[in-house]
A = this chain, B = another copy of it.
Amino acid sequence: MKIINEHVTFDSKGHSDIIDITAQVQQKLTSSGLNNGSLLVFVPGATGSVTTMEYEPGLVADMQAALERLAPKGLEYDHNLKWGDGNGHSHIRASMLGPSLVVPFIDRQLTLGTWQQIIFIDMDNRPRSRELVLQITGE
Q: Would you call B42 and A104 a contact (CB within 8 A)? A: yes
- A-B pairs with beta carbons under 8 Å apart, 17 shown: A3-B36, A3-B138, A45-B113, A46-B53, A52-B95, A53-B95, A54-B91, A58-B77, A58-B81, A58-B82, A62-B78, A62-B91, A62-B92, A99-B101, A102-B102, A111-B133, A137-B137
Q: Would you call A102 and B100 a contact (CB within 8 A)? A: yes
- In the bound complex, CA of A74 to CA of B36 (Å): 42
Q: Would you call B112 and A66 a contact (CB within 8 A)? A: no
Q: Would you call A44 and B78 a contact (CB within 8 A)? A: no
Q: Would you call B44 and A61 a contact (CB within 8 A)? A: no
User: B-contacting residues of A (Cβ < 8 Å)?
Assistant: 1, 3, 5, 36-38, 40, 42-46, 51-54, 56-59, 61-63, 66, 70-71, 77-83, 88, 91-92, 94-104, 106, 111-113, 115-116, 119, 133, 135, 137-139
Interface contacts beyond A56-B79, A66-B71: sample of 11 additional A-B pairs, CB < 8 Å, sorted by A = A3-B139, A38-B135, A42-B102, A44-B112, A46-B52, A46-B115, A51-B99, A52-B99, A58-B79, A59-B78, A59-B79
Taking CB atoms, residues of chain B closer than 8 Å to A36 are 3, 5
Taking CB atoms, residues of chain B closer than 8 Å to A139 are 3
